[in-house]
Structure 1
Amino acid sequence: MSLYEPTSDPGPFFHGTRADLSVGDLITGGFRSNYRPEVVMDHVYFTALSDGAGLAAELARGDGPPRVYVVQLTGPFENDPNVTDKKFPGNPTRSYRSAEPLLITGEVADWRRLTPQALQDWRERLNNVEGEITN
């Protein structure tokens, strides 16, 4: 049983990354966290907000350009415990995670990019975050 109530958000859902992926590919857990590279994540994270996925893409590790993919769920999902109630009461970011893969069904080209200063501000904020990542 989950520690977090499952959500009924109808989507659509998005995943931000610097990985060059294609329609039909699966995104899975098992990779290092973008925010704490010493942590290997058991889940794959996603959001119902394309601009939120864009933020995640811009903050993601890697050399490729930031990308936002439209994803389809292949199993149950829950609220992301790293932001829900811990940082934002409720789930205004509509951020979720799943232990099951996400299927890429498309790519979004028109998400809102951060200014260089806003991106730097986010990076500094993340470097100063204390506490554990719930995996």
Structure 2
Amino acid sequence: MTEALDEGPFFHGTVADLRAGDFLTAGYRSNYRPEVVMNHIYFTAIVDGAGLAAEIAAELTKGGAIPRVYVVEPTGTFENDPNVTDKKFPGNPTRSYRSSAPLKVIGEITHWTRLTPEALQIWRERLTALRSDERGEIIN
């Protein structure tokens, strides 16, 4: 793994209801491709990026899931997220990372920029296109 040069703080967006001291781990199904079990846990140093991930997770979960953002602490080494840094944003301006080691939940935050209804609709359309495109790729 390459060394990621970021000291955080770090954030993770999800619909899981967690408490300080809990751990987020790899080994769960992808929100985008449920047939794929993820080898990594993803996080960012940008709170609104985690908020976006939380809102997407809520959108993909049936039953009115609540988007949540947690301050997290990596427990092991981590690397730049190749899903965005190698393909879309060279140099990692999104400050997106992944790790095979757990993330420790430090606490929940509620102050992030929520998507407007228009932006949420654009994401719904993107997610529908991603799910219907058999060529859609997830680096795992």
TM-score after normalising by structure 2: 0.88
More helix by share: 2
Map 1:1-135; keep pairs closer than 5 Å. 2=1, 5-60=2-57, 61-62=60-61, 63-129=64-130, 130-135=135-140
Aligned residues: 132
TM-score after normalising by structure 1: 0.91
Gaps of 5+ in 1: none
Deviation string for 1:73-117 (max 9, x for gaps)?
100000111111201222111100000000000111111100122
Measure the CA separation in 2 of the matches of 1:37 and 1:124.
18
The secondary structure found in structure 1 opposite 2:83 is: coil
Runs of 4+ in 1 over 6 A off after TM superposition: none
Gaps of 5+ in 2: none
Aligned alpha-carbon RMSD (Å): 1.3
